[in-house]
Amino acid sequence: MMKHIVLVGMLTLGLAAGLQAAPGDLWNVDFEQLSTEGTYKVEMVGPGPDGGVGNAGDKWNVFEISEAGTAAPIGMPLVDATNTPGSVSFTFTDVDAGAGLLGAYGHAPTAINDLVAEYLFLGPQNGGYDITWELTGLAPGGAYDMYLYTGGYDAVNGGHNADYNIDVDGDGAIDGWGPIAPGTPAPTVVNIVADGAGTILGHFGHNNVGESEIGGFQIIEIPEPTTMVLLGLGGLGLIRRRRA
């Protein structure tokens, strides 16, 4: 009996200390050039080229945007990494008047991964232009990790810097600009809490001269501590029954 008590205590502490060890639902979005403007498709793309979450067989929502420019608002419903549809959607709601349109382009990547080969761009930018977006249909007040990728990585062109600006604590206020992994295809990870309606608001942009390139993003739910502990206790119950 004492062994079971000690094991439960260790499991509870371990789960509370490492919540990301057992992540919840995962949604993946890859920005690409136009094939059918304003629509999307679902295909298999591996996790990020140097980091990220998920598996090689996961499904990605491919958001196709015209190189010539696409006006906001434009959006799409998302399937999760298992290709299961639900309530989650991603939408570009606005583009700064000076920038005008969204566009997408591509370079040859250093690795076979079209997450960075094609990308959303906003430019030219010499006035801090940005695009506004929202994710809706998430768990109200839910905790998430968002993996943000820049794009256009190859030996000749390199990747242009990009910035993000997100309401990270669900209070409706944007919390300040930060870089999206400039100079490397590794993702920038942002911890976010959805607001009471299950919405995350954000911006992509770049505050310097040049163009901003965003290859895509992943967003993964972080289960609540209580849920993870209960899952762990359920597993212990199975072990106990098997031993019996």
User: What's the per-residue H, E or C state across 36-103?
Assistant: CCCCEEEEECCCCCCCCCCCCCCEEEEEEECCCCECCCEEEEEECCCCCEEEEEEEEEEECCCCCCEE
pLDDT reported for residue 17: 33
40-44, 191-195, 224-228, range with the lowest pLDDT? 224-228
Name the pTM for this structure. 0.78
Task: Specify the amino acid at residue 241.
Answer: R
Asked if residues 192 and 168 have their Cβ atoms less than 8 Å apart, the reply is yes
H or E element, residue 239: helix 225-243
Fold of 23-223: Jelly Rolls (2.60.120)
Give the residue with greater pLDDT, 4 vs 61: 61
37-41, 75-79, 188-192, 221-225, range with the lowest pLDDT? 37-41
pLDDT reported for residue 11: 33
pLDDT reported for residue 15: 34
